[in-house]
C-alpha cells in the first residue's frame, strides 16, 4: 500500500500564500479529511495533489514517485482520481456515456481497430462497459443509466461525479465536497458509499467536506487548515478538542 506525502508545500499566487509550509501524510486504506473555513486552502491542496497546480515550494510524493510537477493525466494514470466540487460532467450525455468516456485512457486500441470494431475494439469496449456497470451498481445509479445528466437532480449528479472518479479504478480518490447541497438522505447514501469504498474496495479516501458532523463520524484522520496554514491534525476526537481549531471555527471568546 502506498503512502502519499505532502511535505512543506507552499503555493503562492502573486505574493498571496494559498498554502504555506503544509505537511500532510495520507495513510493508505483510511479516510483522511481536510477541513477548514472558506478560503483555507482545502481545494488548493487537492489541486496540487492532482496536478492542476504545481507547488511553488515543497514536494509531493506518492510511494516512490515524485508528483510535484506531474501533469493531471499522469497522476490519474497512477491511480489517483478526483471528484470535483463543481460538477465536471457532460450535461448533454447520458450517465452511462459520461462514465464510459471517463475510461477513455483504458481504451488501448488503435484507430484501425476502432474502424474494424469486431475483435479487439469490441472486446475492450465490452470490458469497459462491464466495469462501468459495476460502478453503476455500486453507486446505485441503475435508474438513471440512460438519463441525460443535465436532467438529473443535483444530488444524483453529485453521485455521478463520484462514480466518474471511480471508473478509473483508483487506489486513492480525492473527493471535493461530495455532499454539498444535499439533503440528509442523500448525504447518508454518499456516506455509505464512502465507507463501502474504503472497507470493501480498499480505496484510500481524501475528503474535503464542510459538514463537520459527517467528517467527525467517518474520518480516521483529520487535517485542519486556516489561511493556508496547517493549524491542527489528528483523530476526530483530538481535533475537536484542539483549542486552535475551535478558535478558527468559532472565534475567540
Partner 1 sequence: MENQDHLVQHSIPQLLRWRVKATGEKIALREKDLGCWHSYTWNQYYDFVRKTGLGLKKIGFEKGNKIAIISDNIPETLYMAIGAQAVGGISAAIYQTSLPDEIGGILEYLNVGIVFCSDQEQVDKVAEVRAKIPGVKLVIYEDPRGMRSYQTDDWFMSIKDLYALGDAAHRETPELFNALVDEGKPDDVCHLCLTSGTTGLPKGAMLTHRNYINMGLQITKVDPLEETDEYLSFLPFAWIGEQMNSFGVAMATGIAVNFPESVETTMDDLKEIGPHFMFGAPRIYETIRSQIWLKMDESYWLNRTLYRYFMKIGEEAAGYRMTGKQMPGRLRFLAWLGKQIIFRPLVNQIGLLRLRRAYTGGAALGPELFTFYQAIGVNLKQIYGQTEIVGIAYMHRDGDVRPDTVGKPLPGTECKISEEGEILSRSASVTPGYYKLPEKSAELLEGGWLHSGDAGYIDANGHLVVIDRISDVMHNINGDMFSPMFLENRLKFSPYIKEAVIFGDKKEYVAALINVDPIVVGKWAEDRGISFSTYMDLSFQPEVAELIKGAVVEINRNREKPHFKIRRFAILYKLLDMDDGELTKTGKIRRKFVREKYNDLFEALYDENITEKKVEAFFQYQDGQTTTVDTSIRFYTMEGD
The contact set with partner 1 (CB under 8 A) reads: 129-130, 133-134, 136-137, 140, 142-143, 145-146, 192, 196, 199-200
State which residue, 113 or 189, has the beta carbon closest to partner 1: 189
Nearest residue (CB) to partner 1, 57 versus 199: 199
Sign of CA dihedral 30, 43, 216, 160: negative
Contact 208, 238 (CB under 8 A): no
CB closer to partner 1, 199 vs 244 = 199
| Contact in structure between 4 and 60 (CB atoms under 8 Å) | yes
* Least distance in angstroms from the C-beta of 142 to partner 1: 5
Exposed, middle or buried by CB within 10 Å (0-12, 13-18, 19+), for 229? middle
- Least distance between partner 1 and beta carbon 32 (Å): 20
- Phi, psi (deg, nearest 5) at residue 239: -65, -40
| Residue closer to partner 1 (CB basis): 72 or 143 | 143
- Strand 57-62: give its sheet, edge to edge: 16-26, 4-13, 57-62, 65-66
> What phi-psi label fits residue 41: left (phi over 0), alpha (psi between -120 and 50 degrees) or beta?
left
Beta carbon of residue 191, minimum distance to partner 1 (angstroms, whole number): 12
CB of 207 to partner 1, least distance (A): 19
- Closest distance between partner 1 and the C-beta of residue 56, in Å? 43
User: Closest CB to partner 1 among 8 and 196?
Assistant: 196
Amino acid at each position: 500500500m502506498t503512502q502519499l506525502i505532502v511535505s512543506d508545500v507552499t503555493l503562492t499566487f502573486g505574493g498571496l500564500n494559498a498554502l504555506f509550509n503544509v505537511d500532510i501524510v495520507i495513510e493508505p486504506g483510511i479516510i483522511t479529511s481536510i477541513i477548514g473555513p472558506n478560503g483555507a486552502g482545502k481545494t488548493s491542496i487537492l489541486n496540487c495533489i492532482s496536478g492542476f497546480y504545481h507547488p511553488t515550494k515543497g514536494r509531493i510524493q506518492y510511494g516512490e514517485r515524485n508528483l510535484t510537477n506531474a501533469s493531471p493525466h499522469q497522476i490519474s494514470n497512477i491511480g489517483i482520481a478526483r471528484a470535483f466540487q463543481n460538477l465536471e460532467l457532460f450535461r448533454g450525455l447520458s450517465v452511462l456515456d459520461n462514465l464510459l468516456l471517463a475510461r477513455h485512457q483504458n481504451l488501448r486500441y488503435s484507430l484501425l481497430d476502432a474502424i474494424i470494431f469486431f475483435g479487439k475494439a469490441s472486446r475492450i469496449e465490452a470490458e469497459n462497459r462491464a466495469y462501468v456497470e459495476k460502478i453503476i451498481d455500486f453507486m446505485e445509479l441503475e435508474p438513471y443509466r440512460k438519463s441525460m445528466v443535465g436532467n438529473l437532480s443535483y444530488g444524483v449528479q453529485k453521485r455521478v461525479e463520484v462514480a466518474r472518479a471511480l471508473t478509473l479504478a483508483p487506489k486513492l480518490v480525492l473527493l471535493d465536497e461530495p455532499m454539498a447541497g444535499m439533503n440528509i438522505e442523500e448525504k447518508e447514501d454518499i456516506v455509505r458509499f464512502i465507507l463501502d469504498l474504503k472497507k470493501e474496495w480498499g480505496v484510500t479516501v481524501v475528503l474535503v467536506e464542510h459538514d463537520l458532523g459527517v467528517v467527525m463520524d467517518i474520518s480516521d484522520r483529520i487535517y485542519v487548515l486556516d489561511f493556508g496554514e496547517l493549524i491542527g491534525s489528528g483523530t476526530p476526537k483530538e481535533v475537536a478538542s484542539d483549542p486552535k481549531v475551535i478558535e478558527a471555527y468559532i472565534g475567540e471568546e
